[in-house]
Structure 1
């Protein structure tokens, strides 16, 4: 994804700082964006250097921008199911589920990770959109017996092939028993934490949920100290690695104008479940009619220098419009510019040759299978 970095950061009271913000500055974060009304670190040494730390070792990310929406009460399970087309009837306490939230037209509102803390208590760990307001409105007008609020919870991510070694140094061998997309409660230096076997890197990793913002600096330094023997480095969610891994970014690759089927996420929609959910009728109509476009991977000529010109670039096929780029990066591992793109179904087959109308010159691109790079994360 092309990244434009301004030379100054103006700290505003309207934009929140995470409990780890001071640590990110102390460790040399060079740029921030705003995500869920909070400052989000973008890189430390450089996006490429941070990427190599991630794929070769272990990194620590401030992802407190993944705000939590807590839903608790007698109707919590029924209400959470209303928000998502994924069948959650078999979700167990201690389990995480990647899911979509859809509106009445089947458009995607958010793609959070759900954590089931108790039979009547859930967290939605959010991408960048105001789900708290949506959920409160739906609950009020639906007369659901639930409380919905943002708890004092701030996650860090520990990601990379050496994440398990650092995790064991912090939490002991019990962490090795944690299954993929499950979580458990731990205590570290007197700090109660929830640790999940999840992440947004395509690498081995964990998310560590701090439940008291006052302990942000102490938790950061405790993890860094445990990771020092393993060469831990501060980093951020890597656009390079997530596009290599075919991981989607809400707001970039999908939004309310997209439905799950064109995003290759039909597996997260269960139209046969007994429970109702918002958008069920619309998604049934979409599935029956069939999609007209699909998200694909593209290998693009032009090298790293071409990436800044690809932001939202139009795509053509034999001179006719054929979609647009949603995200693009240069992959140092593949030595190739790669992109995610939304293209007409007729041009979505593997090997299809398209033209990207970059800001500089037209570039040839070929539809490639996703993920571009796959590594064992479980």
Structure 2
């Protein structure tokens, strides 16, 4: 079907929602949200925390936790041109991605500025799912120009999804009857009969620990939740809110849109967008494949080597460097960057952060200017930073196949 046949004018779209949208799991998440703490994610009610964010966070490190990722935007790109279109859009080589695997990916403007990141599922030779935190339907349609033999569909409301994360997650799935799930390798996909149809399980997640994402028809959403929490009682299962997931993803070294980077289509001021090279995502750019959006600009930027750099920092003391300015000297005479994400890590027992700094200062001394309260009075502290090259949290079980039944 020609791509043009799938385009819809804004005034002909009949599925626009008014007010807050509720995910297929909302009756279950609302019942467990004893504090009724909610935020809005892509129009959906999303739990900030259920009871205590730290207790929920510890389930991702000691037992297992469940986060409702249904508000994530999910798109299906299908047809003979799907591979070629996506290969021109994203920075990785889609032609080398095997069926039933998932690949972390990014896509850029022609100027080499990051639009968004997400996960690309290859469910068959000419059938893909693209999942991202923010809407990307318009960009997908623009990227499809010149590729008439494909269809792009927003399937966000057609799939209910949960992230099951933590060291007992595989043991729980086996106990639920998903035989062979222990053989799933990282970033692989498996399917099982479930409810009235099928469940897709990918060994993926946003916590840096052992984990899976579960994808079902919305009609089977509550059945999935109930079985998880019924069987999962002996595996220490807990519901996860956004606050606990944020803690886990910082430790894991994962980026968050609108926190660590601005999508280039959302920025107003020139220079406030980001390139993947600045965000330490050069490993995900394949310059050996053919043309892709932003290739020429990124190659030029890489050759110049003068771009800003997002680096991991271990900061002295125990006061998180949230919103801190970074300097190259203790006298604070030269501002070299700022902190994008920061926290005191309970499991690493360290004061950790990401800092975006000018390239020429990335390997030199760095100081963070931290403001914190002490008995309601604001205190200023200068803390020395040490650069870290690996994720703060990366346990072996996250890579093992089969993983241990911790």
* Same fold, TM-score > 0.5, yes or no: yes
How many Å apart are 1:301 and its aligned residue?
4.3
1:29-44 equivalent positions in 2, closer than 5 A:
30=35, 31-44=37-50
> Does 2:294 align with 1:279?
yes
Is 2:230 the partner of 1:225?
yes
Q: Which runs of 5+ in 2 are unaligned?
A: 1-16, 265-272, 373-377, 400-406
* Corresponding position: 1:16 with 2:16: no
Unpaired stretches in structure 1, ≥5 consecutive residues: 1-11
Asked whether the 8 Å contact 1:302–1:363 carries over to 2, the reply is no
In 2, the alpha carbon distance for the partners of 1:122 and 1:218 equals 26
**1:292 pairs with 2:307:** yes
Q: Secondary structure of 1:168's match?
A: helix
CA distance in 1 between counterparts of 2:235 and 2:143 reads 47
| Runs of 4 or more consecutive aligned structure 1 residues displaced over 4 Å after TM superposition | none
Aligned residues: 358
CA distance in 2, matches of 1:174, 1:224: 21
TM-score, length-scaled by structure 1 = 0.89
Give the CA deviation at 1:234: 1.0
Map of 2:394 onto structure 1? 374
- Whole-angstrom distance in 1 between the partners of 2:384 and 2:275: 25
Once structures 1 and 2 are overlaid, which stretch shifts more, 12-21 or 90-99? 12-21
Give RMSD over aligned pairs. Answer: 2.0
Partner of 1:354: 367
Give the direction of change, closer, same or farther, for the CA distance of 1:235–1:117 in structure 2 (3 Å limit): same
221-230 or 368-377, larger mean C-alpha shift = 368-377
The whole-number CA distance in structure 1 between the counterparts of 2:197 and 2:306 is 48
Give the Cα–Cα distance (whole angstroms) in 2 for the partners of residues 356 and 373 of structure 1. 25
The answer to whether 1:87 aligns with 2:93 is: yes
Instruction: Sort the Cα spacing of 1:216 and 1:207 in 2 relative to 1 into closer, same or farther, 3 A.
Output: same
8 Å CA contact 1:113, 1:124 repeated in 2: yes
**Residue number among 270, 274, 291 corresponding to 1:258 in the alignment:** 274
Kept after mapping to 2: 8 A contact 1:300/1:363: no
Q: Deviations over 1:167-188 (max 9, x none)?
A: 1112433111111101011122
Q: Which residue of 2 aligns with 1:8?
A: none
Aligned counterpart, 2:344: 330
Match of 1:126 among 132, 143, 168: 132
Distance 1:264 1:66 in 2: 24
Q: TM-score, structure 2 length as denominator? A: 0.83
